[in-house]
Amino acid sequence: MTPAASRPGALVLADGEIFEGEVAGAEPPGGVTAGEVVFNTVMCGYQEVLTDPSYAGQIITFTYPHIGNYGVSDADFESRRPFCRGLVVRDLVRTPSSWRAGGGLEEFLVRHGLSCLTGTDTRRLTRHIRSAGAMVGAFGTASETDLRAAAAAEVGTDGVDLVATVTCERPYLRATTRGDGRPPWRVSVVDFGVKTSILRRLARIAHVEVVPAGYGAEAILARRPHGVLLSNGPGDPAAVRGATEVIEGLLGEVPVFGICLGHQLLGATLGGETFKLPFGHHGGNHPVRHLATGVVEITSQNHNFCVADSGVAGTEITHLNLNDGTTEGLRSLEVPAYGVQHHPEAGPGPHDSGYLFGEFDSWLGELHGTEPDGSGFSGDDGSDPGDSPATDA
């Protein structure tokens, strides 16, 4: 599909602030795109950001001014499609320059029904969100009156189970043959909105079975996994139906590792509280201190909610965010379970925290005491059926 010419438009926030620009990409129904407006500070990796399911329900503002300069590639999808509502940029580049490009960003937006507000003063918008906090808004070609009404009607992400909109419908497999010659583990991934980069990293050490968020603990344990990973995902952890019950059934039965939303849900299951940050952490340059070593890691982050740092009984904090002191990692002292708030798989972002997948590998070896037999999950041959909702293409 050929993109239409840009049309005059505007973004109206819930507090009445207006940001003018031009609408590019797909034409939204009624000329309105609404959602929670957040900003992301990455300088590249816009396609990975747009296809990260953790952005469901949100309009993404990119602080880097030129977005689209290297186009899009089938290899850079983080899920089967974008789940965000739209994007706001300073300059949407319409002529990409990269040998990897399979097309331009605007064609990608049209294909997936996403609108973009371009020509916007994203610096002013970012400063406003930092001051007033993330809030809902609406942009498009509709009248200011209609945009204000849409912003007022938008519910945002608080109290909404967005995981139900992004999780897979049925289990699927990704098989592996380890490069180091050791037999692979079997790892079940509870899909709260899992990124392909996480599955790709896990597949270096394990046969991976991804299961829907509502898959019961008994059904997961019946597949005989050596470990379970609780994935990233969108929105309010307190609104994810049935998640803590599933995790509670896994704790003490199998080693559990949580990332981002999975970390928040693990913390909640262990008795902690979660809360919403003023404007969230979205970007690839957040400093995190690993308390055991004192090493500072530059991390990739994408979340609006956090585990309270008041302490969770029977746990210890392992990582801290150096920007605001919030909890970035915790470990249970009673059962084999730990989680991190940041994204060790990056995609996009720095790989300072990638060692956590190696630690997961070693941790499984220490806990199980013996090497796995290398077989797939019980009842299958470990092969990928080829219809994975999240693929490399």
Nearest one of 262, 267, 259 to 309, comparing CA atoms: 267
| Residue among 306, 302, 301 nearest 276 (CA) | 306
CB-count exposure of residue 241 (10 Å: 0-12, 13-18, 19+) = exposed
The DSSP secondary-structure symbol of 120 reads: -
Query: Which residues are the active-site residues?
Result: 260, 343, 345
Tokens of residue 227, six digits: 């470990």
Residue closest to 57 by CA, chosen among 35, 39, 79, 86:
35
The per-residue DSSP string of 86-102 comes to EEE-SEE-SS---TT-S
> From CA 158, how far away is CA 39, in angstroms rounded?
17
DSSP three-state, residue 266: helix
CA triplet 271, 52, 324: central angle to 5 degrees? 50
CB contact set of 181 (below 8 Å; sequence gap of 6+): none
Residue type, 151: A
Pairing of strands 296-307, 274-290: antiparallel
DSSP 142: S
